[in-house]
A = this chain, B = another copy of it.
Amino acid sequence: MTPSAPVPAYRRLSVEERRSQLLEAALSLFAHRAPEEVSLDDVAEAAGVSRPLVYRYFPGGKQQLYEAALRSAAEELQHCFDEPRKGPSLPRLARVLDRYLTFVDQHDAGFSALLQGGSVVETSRTTAIVDGVRRAAAEHILSHLRVTEPGPRLRMTVRMWITAVEAASLIWLDEDKQPPADELRDWLVEQFVAVLSVTARRDPQTSALVETLLVEG
């Protein structure tokens, strides 16, 4: 089923199925239009249901629906981080980036909307959703690197790189997805090693880490 195909009215969905269906319809609308240009009527129409039904699931209206859609996109994004803890670290990071770039590619404008938090709802709450993903990304990276107590310099380096990756994704979408995803992925992994190596000059913890990464190959 494509996201925008309305479910025939005669099919009865469970509460969970219906909720997912509405979120999917909303996400696909928010992915192509600014939140302020999406109405609940549009969502109802895209999902092939009545407006009152949308309100039954999201009594808080558009704001609640928008936040739920962002949250659901954020959860999906977090699944990119699921990576078995075996083998050398850099190929693991490359695989996570592959999934991440696929997510960015598929959600396109919706990804930009997610990162920018949107403009119709309180920024503090939507910002919190995105910040949660950023925090999770940093924790995953540090845990894959087997760092349990990251010092401030290492933590800052990882967080700066994550922000740079976000910027790269937005620019990548703006520039018709050039360079190709696999080149961008390798470039980002190499940048990760490069900025860690700079930090290694002034931080023993990072220095030990970089040595391990290079030994692993």
Chain A: interface residue count, which band?
Answer: 35 or more
Binary contact track A140-178/B, C-beta < 8 Å → 1, others 0: 000000000000110010011111101110011001001
Number of copies: 2
Contact A171/B159 with A123-B117, A190-B201, A202-B187 known, Cβ cut-off 8 Å: yes
Chain A at the B interface: mostly helix, strand, loop or mixed? helix
Q: How far is the CB of A214 from chain B (nearest CB, A)?
A: 15
Task: Tell me the nearest residue of chain B to A178, going by C-beta.
Answer: B152
CB contacts under 8 Å to B, within A118-134, are 118-119, 122-124, 127
Is A106 in the interface zone, CB < 8 Å from B? no
Q: How far is the CB of A123 from chain B (nearest CB, A)?
A: 4
Contacts of A161 in B (CB 8 A): 164
Distance, CA A172 to CA B202, complexed state (A) = 16
Contact A123/B119 with A160-B164, A171-B156 known, Cβ cut-off 8 Å: yes
Distance, CA A178 to CA B203, complexed state (A) = 14
Distance, CA A202 to CA B187, complexed state (A) = 9
Is A64 in the interface zone, CB < 8 Å from B? no
Contacts of A162 in B (CB 8 A): 167
Do residues A198 and B187 form an inter-chain contact, with CB atoms below 8 A?
yes
Do residues B178 and A167 form an inter-chain contact, with CB atoms below 8 A?
no
Distance, CA A172 to CA B156, complexed state (A) = 9
Task: Tell me the nearest residue of chain B to A160, going by C-beta.
Answer: B164
Distance, CA A198 to CA B195, complexed state (A) = 10
Binding site for B on A (CB under 8 A): 34, 116-119, 122-124, 127, 152-153, 156, 159-164, 166-168, 171-172, 175, 178-179, 183, 187, 190-191, 194-195, 197-199, 201-202
- A-B contacts, 8 of them at CB < 8 A, read A34-B124, A123-B123, A156-B175, A163-B164, A163-B167, A187-B202, A194-B197, A195-B195
Q: Beyond the given A191-B194, A194-B198, could you list 6 further A-B residue pairs with CB under 8 A, ordered by the A residue number?
A: A117-B123, A119-B123, A156-B172, A160-B164, A160-B168, A164-B195
